[in-house]
Amino acid sequence: MMAAALRAAGGRAAAALLRRRGPGGPPAGLGAGPRRYRYKEKWAATAPRIPPTRLALHHFDVNYSLQLKDLWPSVRASLLCEQKYGALLNNFSAVDHVTQELELLNATDFVSQAPKKALRWQRGAAAEEAGRGESRSQEGSGEGRTAMQAETMTRAETSPPLRPSISSNIKCYTFPRGDVTRFRPARPDALGLLDYYLMDAASLLPVLALNVQPDDFVLDLCAAPGGKTLALLQTGICGYLAANDVSISRTKRLYQILHSYVPKVIRETVSVTSYDGRDWGQLQGSTFHKVLVDVPCTTDRHSVMEEENNIFHRRRTKERQMLPMLQLQLLMAGILATKPGGEVVYSTCSLSPLQNEYVIERAVEIAETEFNISIHVEDLSHFRTLFQDTFSFFVDCRLGELVLPHLTANFGPMYFCKLRRM
């Protein structure tokens, strides 16, 4: 009887609960039960997204602080500040009035100042060496002293800063250190050609290092968007110029630059292509006297300032990790495209040794072991002497030269290294 009573009481309680919850509702006093979802949310899709600029800055903080040490805080601040520009004069336009205008604003052509500094450097070095030679040979004959002084002068005259290529037809105006004046936008002349091209002035250093001579066959392997190609045309002495870039969209930008700055008769002499630069050594091997290899890189300044097209975006992680391999392949293609005795200039706009010195070292090794090509890494230290008033150089760069961004001279970063195929 007791069991029957309990069953009856339980039935009455259940009926009461059903009456209180109403149709379709949860039992009274129990609240809503857990709902089941068809798809389980993934952490990667719901976690806060870190902007690629922050990822880039964190990556640089970890790596560049070890490389640059006490210099990194200053370089970091400079990367996050407004970049400084130079005005590359367009020799195909009427630029006399532009020169006067820029000089009135206290801008100077840093390229034309180089031979003057070279001459002063030569005289100072010659005088110093002559003084040392004279003191060492005071007890020798007069004829001996004369011979030693003549030898000293010869060494000074043939030192790297005196190469006439530095005084090229390239003219680029910059404002002095600490002067953050902005250049006005470029203007067209009567023929519709723009009077100057605004660019990072440090980007001209690889072109100057290339040392183009009259009638040289020149290849710009990764040419777009076109600033360095335009600078090569400003020399006016290329026997043949090939400008290549694998990206068709970027090649269109190169065409636009040429159309805006170069007369049609000159423009039509430039061979513009969109091949994969890694294949160039097979397409035109041992053809060019000079090859410029301005490779894709982490573009450090862009990476900490711009979200769009940022290589530190998570979707581009694999691409970023493969950059040193791509850079090595492009440099090897440039070496193979160069004639014996020709020269290659490799450049990036990154501070990373993995993209700079290590790529150079590996390319030299591969050229020797796999292609039996001997490569000599040229000494570019005289660039520091010639352009130290305009740029800040990293003195501990093992191979080539590296321009560091600085708050008073906010150009770069720009790495460049010159190789000679023996």
pLDDT digits (tens, 9 = 90+) for 52-64: 999 999 999 999 9
Which of 172, 238, 349, 417 does the annotation list as catalytic? 349
Mean pLDDT within 17-24: 50
Tens digits of per-residue pLDDT, 28-38?
A: 544 555 555 55
Name the binding residues.
222-228, 245, 276, 294
Pairwise pLDDT comparison (51 vs 10), residue with the higher score: 51
Nearest in space to 355 (alpha carbons), one of 64, 18, 40: 64
pLDDT band for 409, please (50, 70, 90 cuts). very high
What's residue 282's pLDDT?
86
pLDDT band for 280, please (50, 70, 90 cuts). very high
Respond yes or no: is residue 172 known to be catalytic. no
- State CA 206 to chain mean position distance: 10
Angle between helices 248-261 and 227-234 (to 10 degrees): 40
Tokens 């030693």, located at residue: 148
Beta strands (DSSP E) in 31-77 are none
Beta strands 414-421 and 401-404 are antiparallel
Mean pLDDT within 142-170: 49
Helix (H) or strand (E) holding 213: none
What's residue 123's pLDDT?
76
Of the listed ranges 43-52, 130-139, 308-317, 325-334, the least confidently predicted one is 130-139
Whether 415 contacts 356, CB under 8 Å? yes
Is the pLDDT assigned to residue 200 strictly greater than 80?
yes
pLDDT band for 2, please (50, 70, 90 cuts). very low
Strand partners, 404: 392
Distance CA 57, CA 409 (A): 21
pLDDT band for 76, please (50, 70, 90 cuts). very high
All structural domains of the chain, each given as residue ranges with its CATH number in brackets, are: 72-83+200-421 (3.40.50.150)
Mean pLDDT within 182-194: 96
What's residue 19's pLDDT?
53
Distance CA 309, CA 296 (A): 13
Count Cβ atoms within 10 A of the Cβ of residue 289 and give its class: 0-12 exposed, 13-18 middle, 19 or more buried.
buried
Supply 173's token pair. 């105006």
Secondary structure letter of residue 373 according to DSSP: -
Helix (H) or strand (E) holding 398: none
DSSP string, 103-144: HHTT-EETTTHHHHHHHHHHHHHHHHHHHHHHHHTTTS-HHH
Q: What is the mean pLDDT of the chain?
A: 86
Nearest in space to 395 (alpha carbons), one of 407, 387, 403: 403
Name the binding residues for S-adenosyl-L-methionine.
222-228, 245, 276, 294
Distance CA 133, CA 137 (A): 6
CB atoms within 10 A of CB 336: 21
What's residue 25's pLDDT?
52
